[in-house]
Amino acid sequence: MRFGWQSNFTCVLIAAGTLAVGSMGFSQMNPSAPGEAGASQTFKLIPSLDKALMDTTADPCVDFYRYACGNWSKLHPIPNDSPDSDQFYNLEQYNRQVLHGILESAAAAGSGRDANTQKIGDYYASCMDEAAIEKKDMAALQPELERINALTGKDQLGELLAHYQLINVNAFLGYGSQQDFKDATQEIAGVSQGGLGLPEKDYYLRAGEKDEQIRKQYVQHITKMLKLLGGSDAQAASDAQAIMKLETALAKVSLDVTSQRDPHNIYHLMANNGLQALTPVLNWEHFYSATGSPQFKEINVAEPEFFKGLNQVIAETNLAIIKAYLRWQLVQSLPGTALPKALDEEKFDFDGRTLAGIPQQEPRWKRCVASTDGALGEALGKTYVEQQFPAASKEKSLQAIHEIEAAMGRDIEGLDWMSPETKRLAEEKLHLIANKIGYPNTWRDYSKLTIERGDALGNSLRAAEFESHRQLAKIGKPVDRDEWGMSPPTVNAYYSASMNDINFPAGVLQSPFFDPSATAALNYGHIGLFMGHEITHGFDDQGRQFDGHGNLHDWWTKEDAEKFNEKAECIVNEYSQFSVGDTKLNGKLTLGENTADNGGMRLAYMALLAYATEQGMDLNKKIGGEYTPMQELFLGFAQDWCAEWRPELERLVATTDPHSPSRFRANGVLVNMPEFGKAFGCKAGQPMVAAKACRVW
């Protein structure tokens, strides 16, 4: 069940999903041999400026990323259980160590545990109990497989797909609650395209040797998984080919990831009978009833053409193939930690090794920590916050974000391309942004969620259903603007266009990204950039279409909108020239994140200028070190993105993700800042000095 999160136009600081295993952090691991697994590494917080990471033999005016991060790969080789090694990965691993200690204690505690401690402890212990999972083998899956076997006609699909939505199996579609784009005070029902097992529609359709190879490996993977579920060699091979054909048909009618960036393309509010007319093969009233949704009269059909095409795909596919597809969608959606070892390892072989190039799976404790955080994030997060996030950190973080917002106000006021009327509305939106720092004001109530020690799969399914029912219960109700979309230990941040709020979990507010003992310049380069990044999302190509109250509303004059698009096109063209291997970046797909990176750095710079004026600081004078405050600002920013990625991951990100690979997030921004060139004495014509600098904000 994914619809609500996607439709809120939530813009995260780093990649979600695929990159959750390693993409935003600031901690230091004790160096180990490149072949050593993550289980034996100890991660420590690293300083705001780590001079050991720098390659000072590099010319900062030729390649500043190499100058700031050139020694990263030597000191932080990619662990065998990760697709990458970067600052975000390191901090995430540091946090996992903290959470690991909390969960081990919770699992070992006796009968005196409170309710939340029991739940997180028993969930984690059940996940770690491989012997119990192996003993149950396929018996744990059997009730779900029987649901599929019991289908005797397509008219029964609605109820089965409803059950699938509750347990996070998005076969054919996704369904849930979302804020109404046109009335952000209300929650409505929404339905969106789904059902693909590969990362994005172009993986099914794109020509080229690499994509053809992945499609072949995908079919082989499906075959192996179906055999592990009990199918014969011949039947599994035949079903895998048919499933690939079915998913390819779905891909052809799916909206591509770039088009989904425009909110108008995924907002089509219609009466319930309108969706029924698009897909008469499904009984939607039975579907809604089976999910336990509140009654409603209208639903947002994100991609009407998909549902029209979905109807044809289901109508033209025989029931036996649909049942094989449902078995495949079920098993590939369930967490590997809750499945027998053979299924778990085969899932990783394709998802990890083939798509992301990861040689070996993470140690089980890491995956069980992540799984517990996903299922019981605020129960676990409450204990994490008590240990790791003092009140002083929250106060200083709020002060920092207010400084960056003040810089945005000055930036808007000083724009020479925006009319006074649009400026007024932009400033109004800025002042309405809500700042959420650290953790929610009210912790989530998990009292209705049952966690049973020794039942890993059951716990996972019950946790999924608990969250799905919580989300569905929102339909028809006012929006809860205090709700968080990330757990407190998360090493990430996000801006929500419908909420018009910025969210910084406690997990990311640590060194090097935020260190109260570091210089002001370094903190502006780190957390100031991140805060500016999220604020700018409110005014990027997506966010600018929503007003200060979170409504999809055109508040721009026609002339101002044209000028914005002209400036944004410069960013599109710049990043479209970058490539990883033989794959060029998609400048349109990454426009929002690139705009936010550029705007965020501009705001951090402006905030530092204001601070220096207030403090009487000379930004170009070296004080107690080798670098001026201005140089520290840019070094802190660049070291945010120190990384080494496996080639498979870079290709995956370049083709599917709205975030650019790390090195382009550093150099791509700095070439657009003449202030950077001045700070490091760069001259016109050098690579880090753009002939035509791009700037939106």
The residue assigned the tokens 């069940």 is 1
The residue assigned the tokens 């230990």 is 489
DSSP assignments along 249-296, one per residue: HHHHTSPPTTGGGSGGGG--EEEHHHHHHH-TTS-HHHHHHHHTPPP-
569 has catalytic annotation: no
β-sheet bridge partners, residue 284? none
* Of 261, 259, 405, residue with least CA distance to 697: 405
Count of C-beta atoms within a 10 Å radius of residue 600: 26
Q: Give the single-character DSSP code of 46.
A: P
Distance CA 641, CA 635 (A): 10
Q: Is 12 helix (H, G, I), strand (E, B) or coil?
A: strand
Helix, strand, coil abundance in the chain, percent, nearest 5: 55, 10, 35
State the amino acid at position 570 in one-letter form.
C
Q: What phi, psi does 645 have (nearest 5°)?
A: -120, 145
- Active-site residue among 239, 534, 540, 541? 534
Going by their DSSP bridges, the two strands 501-505 and 434-438 should be labelled as: parallel
Report CA torsion sign: 114, 118, 124, 130: positive
DSSP assignments along 54-68, one per residue: --TTS-TTT-HHHHH
- Active-site residue among 597, 632, 650, 657? 597
351 has catalytic annotation: no
Burial class (CB in 10 A: 0-12, 13-18, 19+), 692: exposed
List CB contacts of 600: < 8 A, sequence separation 6 or more: 528, 529, 530, 531, 532, 533, 534, 535, 536
The residue assigned the tokens 């005196």 is 112
State the amino acid at position 307 in one-letter form.
F
**How far are the Cα atoms of 118, 130, 201, 216, 260 from residue 205, in angstroms, in the given order?**
48, 39, 7, 13, 18
List CB contacts of 356: < 8 A, sequence separation 6 or more: 18, 21, 83, 646, 648, 649, 652
Report yes or no: 81 and 364 within 8 Å, Cβ to Cβ: no
List CB contacts of 376: < 8 A, sequence separation 6 or more: 116, 119, 120, 123, 446, 449, 451, 463
- What would you report as the CA-atom Rg of the chain, rounded to the nearest whole angstrom? 25
Q: Looking at the annotation, which residues are catalytic?
A: 534, 597
